[in-house]
Amino acid sequence: MSNPDHQGQYHDFAAKLAATKKSVEVDESLRYAAEENNTIREELKSLEDASIFQNLLKGYAIIGGLIFIAHLILEGLWVGLLGIIVLAIFYIISKISIDRDIKRVNEIVQDRNDSTLLNEVELARMKMGTTAIIELKIRRFQLIMAMTVVLTPLIFMSISELIFGNLPLINIGLSILLGSIFWMIYFKKDIDQLTEMKERLVKA
């Protein structure tokens, strides 16, 4: 028969081994989640670098505004005036919305421990910061897409009337069709990619 003391030692040793194994599994899970978080951060940086149009957005708005002013002066009211009103509305909305979101993201990202020890609390903060950045970018792309989908047809209509002196229905239809579909496809790709990153982060 085995010694009861030895049995007690065995159970203690087995319990310690199980606890150690669980700790290792938790550490591996944390490490994987942290690596996935860092990978997504790098992808976000690449996505921002790749979005050329986002960096040219101010130029697009200025050119659009100048076309609307020229149309308003040379041809009359409705297209030019409507374009200026829509441009102003989008500018105000984007300024308020994006500035507020950027402030919120900065607060979340800066709310970090100085400790370099990776634990569940620190990982949760890392993921929260990355999620906030992703959500900010999704809202920004959605706002830019809405603006370009509405403004580009108006710009095309203004140019058409400035060149030809009138605005037939076929030109209105082509302006809406060509001015909207391209940007919807262009930005939907980026929005889908960001949504997929957010889902990966949740699963990590």
For 113, half-sphere exposure in the C-beta direction (CA atoms, 13 angstrom radius) is 12
Greater pLDDT, 110 or 125: 125
Domain coordinates in residue numbering, the chain: 4-203
Under 8 Å between Cβ of 175 and 160? yes
CA 171, CA 9: separation in Å to the nearest integer? 88
DSSP state letter for 119: -
Arithmetic mean of pLDDT, 10-30: 53
Residue that is written with structure tokens 């990153």 in the block:
197
CA 75, CA 19: separation in Å to the nearest integer? 79
Residue that is written with structure tokens 């002066």 in the block:
73
CA 156, CA 80: separation in Å to the nearest integer? 11
Could you read off the pLDDT of 153-189 as tens digits, one per residue? 888 888 888 888 777 778 788 888 888 888 888 888 8
CA 153, CA 180: separation in Å to the nearest integer? 7
Could you read off the pLDDT of 112-137 as tens digits, one per residue? 544 455 677 777 888 888 888 888 88
pTM beyond 0.95: the answer is no
CA 170, CA 122: separation in Å to the nearest integer? 58
Could you read off the pLDDT of 140-163 as tens digits, one per residue? 888 888 888 888 888 888 888 888
Instruction: Give how far Cα 7 sits from Cα of 1, 3, 10, 95, 138, Å.
Output: 10, 6, 5, 70, 59
